[in-house]
Amino acid sequence: MQSDAPINISNLTMAYGDFVVMRDLNFTINPRDIFIIMGGSGCGKSTLLKHMIGLKSPALGKILYNGASLWDSEKEQKEKMMKGFGILYQSSALWSSMTLAENIALPLQQYTNLSKSKIDAQIDLKLSLVGLAGFEEFYPSEISGGMRKRAGLARAIALDPKILFFDEPSAGLDPVSSRRLDDLILELRDSLDATVVIVTHELASIFAIGNNSVFLDPESRTMLATGNPHTMLAENRDPKIQTFLRRGENIEDETVSTSSEGVCVDG
């Protein structure tokens, strides 16, 4: 099976033992999409991300990358597919005992045969792309939370991936830093010609950068809609979707609060 879309989710059911988290998920992520995984608390957003990056196998259904099934592929092919992923975890997951340069060097040392000088050049380039040129020798504890997010992004793009996965990238950031991170995600998408998948509940980010999405519902344990978040807001009359997307007084205001408590923090 071949497809022009980087990612196709087909009849996916996610479960922990006998407990079904989500069933009958069907959606397509197109080239260069910034695709938002969203929904109410406990809806399984992070669980879906784990299935898509190869950490948890589906109970039923397929996860297809350019037409090839991630979970039905042989080990070598699956590992090759996963090397094309760049992942930013919610906590940034930087090694605290390593400098930023050493953190970014890890995937380059593990998955390439580049010389030290070429690895150093890649480190400089990636830190420059995220606005951290000159911070090579800093440790994660020596920089701010927003800078750690950007350093995590630099490591995520170390291997020039074509698909980027972000788990709550704005978590813990103030609104100004969150907006700057959104702008950076757009810039990286364009510079890498990549497709981006983001787990988030932040309305400001959803409407600022998302052009495609899926809405997961924890009560029915399935998806309620897929498509552009702006189109969902304007045309989908489902009260759950309207309530979720209309939080806050002005969703178009860049200063809208992005810290709505109790809404799908860890999905």
- CA distance linking residue 260 with residue 247, whole number of Å: 8
Superfamily for 1-84+162-169+195-247?
P-loop containing nucleotide triphosphate hydrolases (3.40.50.300)
What per-residue confidence (pLDDT) applies to 264? 35
What per-residue confidence (pLDDT) applies to 48? 97
- CA distance linking residue 80 with residue 265, whole number of Å: 31
pLDDT tens-place string over residues 31-67: 999 999 999 888 999 999 999 999 999 999 999 999 9
Q: In the predicted model, what is the mean pLDDT of the chain? A: 89
Residues facing 33 on adjacent strands: none
User: Cβ distance 255 to 175 under 8 Å?
Assistant: yes
What per-residue confidence (pLDDT) applies to 228? 98
Q: What angle do CA 49, 228, 182 make, to 5 degrees?
A: 65
Q: So where are the chain's domains?
A: 1-84+162-169+195-247
What per-residue confidence (pLDDT) applies to 4? 57
Residues of the chain under the 50 pLDDT cut: 1-3, 249, 251-267
The predicted model scores a pTM of 0.87
Q: Where are the alpha helices (DSSP H) in the chain?
A: 45-52, 75-82, 100-111, 116-129, 145-156, 175-192, 203-209, 229-235, 239-245
**Among 234, 242, 216, CA closest to 21:** 216
